[in-house]
Amino acid sequence: MRDQILSNMQNPGQLEKLYRTNKASFKQEFSGLYPQLSGNTLADFWHERLNYESEEISWGTGKEFVFVVIAALIAGILAKLPAIFPISEEFFYPRNIGFLVFPFLAAYFAWKNKLPDTRVAFIGFAVAVCVVYINFLPNNNSDTLILACIHLPLLLWVILGVSYVGDELSNYKMRLSYLRFNGDLAVMSALLVIAGVLMTGITIGLFQLIGLQIEEFYFEYIVAFGLPAVPIVATYLTQTNPQLVNKVSPIIAKLFSPLVLVMLIVYLGAIIISGKDPYNDREFLLLFNVLLIGVMALIFFSVAESSTKEKSISGVWVLLLLSVVTIVVNGIALSAISFRISEWGITPNRVAVLGANVLILIHLLLVTVMLFKAATKKAVITEVGRSIVLYIPVYFVWTIIVVFLFPLLFGFK
């Protein structure tokens, strides 16, 4: 996108086509280029256009709207397959929950980015392999099956990222844009869910007033179709109306980073006082790792949100301190799982948690070093973002190992 903008700075028609192809990507790349283009009449025009905040909501093109509606309907039908065919819900949903969302979002961006047929075929083939593989694993409720089901959505998330970045897979700025998209998607999805909950309560309440009990029908069909549609519609809204959440997401990141930092410090102190022990309490260790992943995601999201603009030094220091505390949390989790392996032996779950914690620790150390350089003005915040996204393929490789190799290595146990 960046090179196409530069090569068409004297071609207004082509710039308009590029903008309509992917508004969010165009705005991001143009904003980065504008300082060197300032003074060019066409560039100044686009700068004003892109930064003008319209109060109107754009619904995109008619084709785009139809695409989203059809995708949401198909996702809803897939979600109802256990009710249509004699398929066990316990078998279907753990294995296929990711396929109700990620392939449709990947198809949306493949269509929006006009990906070449070879890239589309690769994405389709990768998704098909995942579908066949996960559904043909032995139905023995084994640890390796559970691990594969847990890690498969991460694999699909990476495939979605390939579709999102289009032909700029090696461009770390596009990878950061993908992280920002995930933050915006989470915010928009949460808003849609809240609106849906309110509508559900009002609708059921109104029908109860006239003596009709529609709860079973409503949850069986309306909610079943609505939930898979939420991320699809949210993606559509964030791409056609970037202004809807491009101010909300940075505010959330800015507010929650210091709050989570204080919470983590207090929580670590409370663990000592309460005597809670992740070394011998399996459930507590699991929650500890979930907390670790959530905080790490907040750090990465905050960096991604600030990578397109200058971030205050105080904000960088907050992220640095949060990273340091998160490394402490990771160290505790890593020592706990190492202790459990030394005491009770190797299991698929323990190896998976150990590997994930080691990878997270290395990643956090890299990011913390870059945050320290940014805080001391030896590097810019964009370099922190670069250190985040260049490490993502490592998680991808580990996910492939857990999903495809663990069942074989541990004999499907």
**What are the tens digits of pLDDT across the range 351-409?**
999 999 999 999 999 999 999 998 888 887 778 888 888 899 999 999 999 999 999 98
Query: How far is it, in rounded angstroms, from Cα 290 to Cα 286?
Result: 6
* For the chain, domain boundaries: 2-46, 62-243, 247-409
Q: Which of 200, 217, 228, 214 is nearest to 73 (CA)?
A: 228
Look at the chain and count its residues.
413
User: Mind spelling out the 3-state secondary structure of 313-364?
Assistant: HHHHHHHHHHHHHHHHHHHHHHHHHHHHHHHHCCCHHHHHHHHHHHHHHHHH
User: Mind spelling out the 3-state secondary structure of 366-393?
Assistant: HHHHHHHHHHCCCCCHHHHHHHHHCCHH
330-343 in b/e form (b: 16+ CB < 10 A) is bebbbebbeebeee
User: Which are the contacts of 29, defined by CB distance < 8 A and separation ≥ 6?
Assistant: 1, 2, 5, 173
Identify which has the larger pLDDT, 251 or 269. 269
Phi and psi, residue 294, nearest 5° = -65, -45
pLDDT higher than 90, residue 170:
no
pLDDT higher than 80, residue 165:
yes
Q: How far is CA 152 from the centre of its chain?
A: 14
pLDDT score of 55: 56
- Residues 103-151: pLDDT tens digits? 999 999 999 888 889 999 999 999 999 999 999 998 888 899 999 999 9
Write the single-letter amino acid at 285: L
- Residues 251-267: pLDDT tens digits? 777 788 888 889 888 88
pLDDT higher than 80, residue 58:
no
144 and 54 in contact (C-beta within 8 Å)? no
Write the single-letter amino acid at 336: A
Q: What is the pTM of this model?
A: 0.82
Query: How far is it, in rounded angstroms, from Cα 326 to Cα 336?
Result: 15
386 and 321 in contact (C-beta within 8 Å)? no
Identify which has the larger pLDDT, 15 or 27. 15
pLDDT score of 102: 95
Q: Give the residue ranges of DSSP H helices in 113-217.
A: 117-136, 143-165, 172-209, 215-217
Packing angle of the helix pair 282-306, 172-209 (nearest 10 deg)? 110
Sign of the C-alpha dihedral, residues 9, 31, 231, 98? positive
64 and 238 in contact (C-beta within 8 Å)? no
* Confidence tier at 75 by pLDDT (50, 70, 90): very high
Residue 53, token pair as written in the block: 């905040």
Query: How far is it, in rounded angstroms, from Cα 147 to Cα 143?
Result: 6
Query: How far is it, in rounded angstroms, from Cα 184 to Cα 23?
Result: 15
Write the single-letter amino acid at 137: L
Query: How far is it, in rounded angstroms, from Cα 292 to Cα 268?
Result: 12
Q: Which of 360, 248, 245, 357 is nearest to 297 (CA)?
A: 360
